[in-house]
Amino acid sequence: KDTNKVFGGYSSIGFCSLGNDFTVNGNGFRFHNSSNNFIFSFENSEDTQHMKISRVVNQSQAILDSDYNAFNFGLGSLAVNDVSLHANNNSNNYENNIKTDTVYNIEEIESYNISIIYH
């Protein structure tokens, strides 16, 4: 809300039913490994030419499995809880291209599941 910014991300492992293949860090956080994840932002929905992309750099902490977030890329690099979006990347698990200390109120969320169909 109150901004035209668009944030998003891609996870090759999804967010639901992540299974038991995770590591636990010293603080007790459960992380899932992925080498293909990325997060992105646009300044506005009309300008796709100036997209900022941040690829995962710490693959072992690509996705934080947390009961408190709808999704959480790399411990707050891009995370949603309740109706707020955080994009601070203080954990440095993703490239630092979309870092902001602003907490955004979410106006709209779109989610897509991409599947490969083999014939």
49: tokens are: 């030419």
DSSP H helices, the chain, are none
Range from 9-18, 88-97, 107-116 carrying the lowest mean pLDDT: 9-18
> pLDDT at residue 38 above 90?
yes
Q: Residue 18's pLDDT is what?
A: 65
> pLDDT at residue 27 above 90?
no
Kindly state the average pLDDT of the residues 8-31. 78
Q: How many CB atoms lie within 10 A of CB 47?
A: 11
> pLDDT at residue 76 above 70?
yes
Residue type, 111: S
Q: Residue 16's pLDDT is what?
A: 63
Distances (CA, A) of 71 to 22, 49, 84, 119: 15, 26, 11, 32
pTM for this prediction: 0.82
